[in-house]
Amino acid sequence: MNVGTKTLKEYDKKLTIISLFDWETGNVSGMKRFLHEILESFEYVISYRKIIVSERGGKRLNSFLNIVFNQFLYIPFQLLFIHRIRKTTGPILITSQHLMFQLRILCKSKKFIIIFDLIDLSVYTRYPKPMQQWLIQFLYKAVKKADQVITISDYSRKEIINKLKVEPAIIKVIYVCNELNRFRPIANEDRDKLRLKLGFSSNKFIVLNVGSDQPRKNIETSLKALTLLRERTKDFLFVKVGEPQWLGSRDRLLTLVRDLGLSQYVKFINYAFEDQLADFYNISDVFVMPSLYEGFGIPLLEAMASGVPVVCSNRTSIPEVVGHAGFILNDPMNPQELADILFLLFSDPHQRDLAKLKGLEQSAKFSCEASRKQFADCISFLDAVNIQNCCIDQ
């Protein structure tokens, strides 16, 4: 129910959500899914209004000019919106670290912020060193004005403590979950039909990767591992689903594919809507993610919930998500180790079945009920019975 004509005073005690994107519309990303699951699927209903500063989430940062806009010019742009709520006394949830600047301005309310990761401050950032220093001094240090910090893994929690010097007591970990069984296994006969429907051979060993082409995703190691796998079998196909999100990254990967002679073994798919994404998991035999940095690793959870064996790195939050359910690489930069595990799963159906069962058991630990309860405890604002959205002009 839109109630944009209401006055500010009528919303003083409502939860205000300030976001870069509308989680109820458009393509579903990991961050959108996280917000939708904890806000829209309660057994009870939290009354809130949302302020969409920009639908920036649909535009990928593929150029330096976009980076400059999003982290420099974007700050004064936010000020055009923030004056509308400076006097509100209700709790305020800021849904991204890229909106952290607003913590310096909002003084009268309890303020909560979601920090998904600190990739911007890692060695895998797209930003040069001077810009990183600016981000720390001007943007990220504002986190100390938050009453509560929400993050999505214990790894990210430790990074926030160590890099931003935030008091551990105000940081709450709320895990991403697999709401409403969006991702779930299907029967083998249905999988064969689905493969034919999507144009894939029913007898190929499909190796899936979901994510961007950013250097931290370490796709190059997967491709090099495929050349070693090809020495033992040629009955495989590597399917890479996800937009590049990094300037020149797709061209570099395509060049590597050609140089390695893998053109007939690799298929790039730029984007898949959520129902299509579930199909790609369901037609796959194994999911690989040798990533070097993740704040959580949502595709790992999606793959395990779909009954797909997981091979992943031992870096950052990844072991926290996978537990003992996946094949964790000792060295994610070693293509031989990855190739050996892929061949084991290719040649041993028992290992695949065992990994599937372990993955399903592990994914079930990420309870949406628990995540919602933790979020509700954070905002402590459960007395309203109607959802009321007040969308300020976008």
CATH of region 182-363, choose from 1.10.3720.10, 3.40.50.150, 3.40.50.2000, 3.40.50.12780: 3.40.50.2000
Provide mean pLDDT across the span 65-73.
Answer: 50
> What pLDDT shows up at residue 283?
97
Q: Which residue has the tokens 């697999």?
A: 178
* Position with higher pLDDT, 32 vs 229: 229
> Where residue 87 falls among pLDDT bands split at 50, 70, 90?
low
Q: Name which residue leads in pLDDT, 29 or 394.
A: 29
Dig out the tokens for 295 from the structure: 């704040």
Decide if 8-177+368-379 and 182-363 have a common fold. yes
In the chain, where are the structural domains located?
8-177+368-379, 182-363
pLDDT for 8 beyond 50: no
Q: Is residue 392 exposed (0-12), middle (13-18) or buried (19+ Cβ within 10 Å)?
A: middle
**C-alpha dihedral, 248 to 272 to 225 to 345, nearest 10°:** 170
Per-residue model confidence (pLDDT) at position 192: 92
- Whether the pLDDT of residue 383 is over 90: the answer is no
pLDDT tens per residue, range 306-340: 999 999 999 999 999 999 999 999 999 999 999 99
Residue 68 to residue 321: CA distance in whole angstroms:
33
CATH number of 8-177+368-379: 3.40.50.2000
CA distance 21 to 26: 9
- Structure confidence by residue, pLDDT tens digits, 133-176: 777 777 788 888 888 899 999 999 999 999 999 999 999 999 98
Please answer whether residues 388 and 48 qualify as being in contact, where contact means their C-beta atoms are separated by less than 8 angstroms: yes
